[in-house]
Amino acid sequence: MSIKVISGNDKYTAINVGKMNEINKHQLKDGTGKVLAEGKAFLGDALKMTGAQMSINSVPVGQAGPFFHLHKENEEIYFIVSGEGEYQVDDVIIPIHEGSFVRVGPGASHNLKNTGKVPLIFLCVQVRSNSLGDISHDYEITQTTPKFH
């Protein structure tokens, strides 16, 4: 399964990862081609991201993520697209389901498990902790002419 670049230039990138029910076909591989995880696709390179990393993931029924892990300087935000399960942060269990968000800060060991009856699909965004600053004024309303169909 591959990530397809739809369009892009130096100001934007648009990609497609395929149908949500086929996310499980993506594979995370190391530099030698060895499969490290099924149902995981990192999107940062394809999107040409420079300030964050993002992945789309699918966990089969009854299974957990491949490993507990923590980050030393980054935080992760998990958005549950579909399915249900449990998210463990250190020793705390959090019930999760479609529409749930979980933020995990640096130093917290975490993983999740699918306890539902369908694949657990989620997005994960990883960013440097405390890097955002004041974004309340980081926008400008433009006079762009809409060209939607």
Q: Residue 54 sits in a domain of what CATH number? A: 2.60.120.10
What pLDDT band is residue 117 in, cutting at 50, 70 and 90?
very high
3-state secondary structure of 101: strand
Q: Is residue 12 part of a domain?
A: no
Q: Is residue 49 part of a domain?
A: yes
CB 62 within 8 A of CB 86: no
Residue 132's pLDDT is 82
Range of the domain at 67: 18-128
Please give the model's pTM, rounded to 2 decimal places.
0.89
Mean pLDDT over 69-92 rounds to 97
Q: Is residue 85 part of a domain?
A: yes
Domain total of the chain: 1
CB 66 within 8 A of CB 89: no
Residue 114's pLDDT is 98
Mean pLDDT over 47-58 rounds to 95
Q: Is residue 141 part of a domain?
A: no
Asked if pLDDT for residue 42 goes beyond 80, the answer is yes
Mean pLDDT over 68-85 rounds to 97
Alpha-carbon gap, residue 137 to 132, rounded angstroms: 12
Q: Is residue 2 part of a domain?
A: no
3-22 pLDDT per residue, tens: 999 999 999 999 999 998 88
Q: Is residue 31 part of a domain?
A: yes
CB 83 within 8 A of CB 114: yes
Asked if pLDDT for residue 138 goes beyond 90, the answer is no
Mean pLDDT over 51-66 rounds to 95
Q: Is residue 64 part of a domain?
A: yes
